[in-house]
Amino acid sequence: MGSRALEITIISGEGLRLSRSKRVEKNAFVTVSADQTQILASTRMDVDGGSYPTWNDKIFVDIPIQSRFLIVEVQCKSKYNGDRVVGGVRIPVKDFVGGFTPTNYLNFLSYRLRDRKGEKNGIINISIKVNSTKGDHVDGFNYSQPWLTASYNNQIAATTIVGNKDSNNGIVTGFPVW
């Protein structure tokens, strides 16, 4: 099984609340996981930001190729209750992988957070860059670099260049996708 190497920068949060009447005062941090796996990484705690924390923490994670979601949760460390989830979001991997987005493209994204009850609870601002795709290289060939996609009468033709990365020659393949 392959994995995708992601560079995620957790930039900031906006309007975070512990309840309708109580704002987050301090000690907010963010955890990142893929689908339903264990936590892959977390940020440092913002001790001063209150309900508008700023982290600007860059984290590097590898997520499995088959992962459909990246789960980002904002949590708050409490002196009495331990870690408490303020809000979270399930980010579809297709928001930053595939389509016309090339590898190493920096995506700036903002998402609405939802608390455990499903109610709106702030916004998270992040950037995500897919550094490389592991597991799709066979014998020095890369089989997954899209080169051109065109459509005509609802038919999509995808073209892929297959070749050794150290040479200037390669095989161009195309196939219709209905």
Residue 49 has pLDDT above 60, yes or no: yes
Give residue limits of the domains in the chain: 3-133, 136-177
pLDDT of amino acid 176: 58
Q: How far apart are CA 8 and CA 106, in angstroms?
A: 9
The answer to whether 78 touches 27, Cβ cutoff 8 Å, is yes
Q: pLDDT exceeding 90 applies to what percent of the chain? A: 48
pTM, two decimals, is: 0.71
Q: Give 53's pLDDT tier (boundaries 50, 70, 90).
A: very high
pLDDT digits (tens, 9 = 90+) for 84-138: 899 999 999 999 987 777 788 899 999 999 999 999 999 999 999 998 654 443 3
Q: Which CATH superfamily is domain 3-133 in?
A: C2 domain (2.60.40.150)
Phi, psi of 93 (to 5 degrees): -60, -30
Q: Which 3 state secondary structure label does DSSP give 94?
A: helix
Mean pLDDT across 29-42: 90
| Poorest-pLDDT segment among 15-19, 74-78, 100-104 | 100-104
Max Cα–Cα distance, the chain, nearest Å? 64
